[in-house]
Amino acid sequence: MLDLKKVAKQIKNEGLYTFIYNEMKEITGKGELSEEEVLHLLNKNPKFLQDYKTLNTQSEISNIQIVYQEILEEDTPECKKIKQMINKNREELIRLEPYENKPDSMLYAVWVGSAVIFLIFVIHNLVVLYTFWYEKHPLAVYLSYVVVSISGYLYYKKRIKDHHKNHAMFKRIEAETKSLIEKGKKDGCLKKVYM
């Protein structure tokens, strides 16, 4: 939920986005680009917008640039309803922002795999240092490794499934919010939509 004109202005003028701007200049073969040219490239090549979003996420800057809609007394009931829905959706989009992109399976695999390896290491060291279970009950020790590994795999699958569910919810709310914004603009309810 970005204002592309604002994005184009930021890419052109702010140092945080220099690498995106330099890449755009390289593609066009020009020394400098106008904001309109940057905007055209953003619309033409989705990679630049994705780079912008990724950089914002890494810098802990929100990609949800919708402004809170103040509900006024003189608003019509229809306008009040649109503004309430936009505000509600805005909060949900901010909450679900980490799920804006599809899940990176490798990221979850590394994260959960590291935890599983650490737990197996801890179990092994506790057993070796404080017990004789390797000699008397080796099956129980190895079974605990299997239980930890299976639990880690099941947790990994759950995280991926949850991410897919939240990603679908984010996309649904995003589409609904876009249609509400269009309707609000058409009806004259919304003066300022983006920060």
Share of the chain above pLDDT 70, in %: 100
Of the pLDDT bands very low, low, confident and very high (cuts 50, 70, 90), residue 134 is confident
User: Both 150 and 115 in a single domain?
Assistant: yes
Name the pLDDT band for 114 (thresholds 50, 70, 90): very high
The predicted model gives 126-148 an average pLDDT of 90
Q: Could you report the per-residue pLDDT of 180-193, keeping only the tens digit for each?
A: 999 999 988 888 88
- Do 193 and 17 form a contact (C-beta atoms < 8 A)? no
Query: What pTM did the predictor assign?
Result: 0.79
Q: Is 188 exposed, middle or buried (0-12, 13-18, 19+ CB in 10 A)?
A: exposed
- The band of 26, judged by pLDDT with boundaries at 50, 70 and 90, is very high
The pLDDT of residue 1 is: 75
Residue 21: its pLDDT value, please?
A: 92
7 within 8 A of 52, measured Cβ to Cβ: yes
Which pLDDT value is given to residue 67?
A: 92
User: What's the angle, vertex CA 17, arms to CA 12 and CA 23, rounded to 5?
Assistant: 80
Among residues 63, 87, 111, which one ends one of the domains?
63
Secondary structure class of 131 (helix, strand, coil):
coil
Question: 164 and 135, same structural domain?
Answer: yes
SS3 of residue 66 by DSSP: strand
Question: DSSP class of residue 97?
Answer: G
Of 105 and 112, the structure prediction assigns the larger pLDDT to: 112
Domain count, the chain: 2
Task: Give me the chain's average pLDDT, please.
Answer: 91
- What is residue 10's predicted lDDT score, i.e. its pLDDT? 92
Residues 95 and 172 in one domain: yes
Q: Are residues 82 and 129 in the same domain?
A: yes
Last residue of a domain, one of 29, 63, 97: 63
169 pLDDT higher than 90: yes
Kindly report, residue by residue over 63-107, the tens digit of the pLDDT.
898 999 999 999 899 999 999 999 999 999 999 999 998 888 888
Range(s) of the domain holding residue 33: 1-63
Quick one: 78 and 169 in the same domain?
A: yes
